[in-house]
Structure 1
Amino acid sequence: MFLEIITPDEKIFEGEVDHATFPGSKGSFQVLNDHAAMVSSLGKGDLKMVITHNKKTEETHMAIDGGVVEVLNNKVLVLAEHVEK
């Protein structure tokens, strides 16, 4: 699925991921390929994404300070207040 992470200042990430885990305002949740459409608020916490490239799996973590996430047709858009890589 395609993930895009944007803050008011810059585009942080754009690309294909296997799955991602978000710090929801009511608890963390994971989004996989073919996930149902949804919109959710994000709290402060760890955003984790898993990417497989050339048969090598890489896990990336970012600290996020809140925002919203939209999932629609295998595209995930994160509008974050602040992200630390």
Structure 2
Amino acid sequence: MFLEIVTPEAVLFSSKVDSFSVPGIDGEFQMLNNHAAVVSVLKEGTVKIHMNTLEHLKMDVMNKYLEAHIVDDKILTLAIKSGTIELKDNKAIILAD
């Protein structure tokens, strides 16, 4: 699936991913490939992006926003204050603050 994370200032992330989890208003939830369509509000928390490999990413551009997970370096994390997510046809867009 394809994930794009956008703020009013910049596109923070744009790449194919294996899965990701987001901080929903009723708790964290995960999106997998071929997930049903979703539109949801997000609260303050961490977006966790699960990737098979990080080789194709330009991490120098994303370093100030994304961090490797403490336990697994194939999981990237991004702290958000709030946002919305839309997932449809294996393309997800997170509008984050």
TM-score by length of structure 1 reads 0.89
Number of corresponding residues: 79
Report deviation, 1:35: 0.3
Task: Give the whole-Å Cα distance in 2 for the aligned partners of 1:27 and 1:15.
Answer: 25
Q: Which has the higher strand share?
A: 1
Question: Gaps spanning 5+ residues in structure 2: where?
Answer: 56-72
Question: Gaps spanning 5+ residues in structure 1: where?
Answer: none
Task: Give the whole-Å Cα distance in 2 for the aligned partners of 1:78 and 1:26.
Answer: 17
Q: Which has the higher helix share?
A: 2
- What's the C-alpha RMSD, in Å, of the aligned pairs? 1.2
Matched, 1:77 2:77: no
* Deviant stretches of 4+, over 3 Å: none
Task: Give the whole-Å Cα distance in 2 for the aligned partners of 1:13 and 1:44.
Answer: 18
Report matched runs for 1:6-85 at 5 Å. Answer: 6-53=6-53, 58-81=74-97
TM-score by length of structure 2 reads 0.78
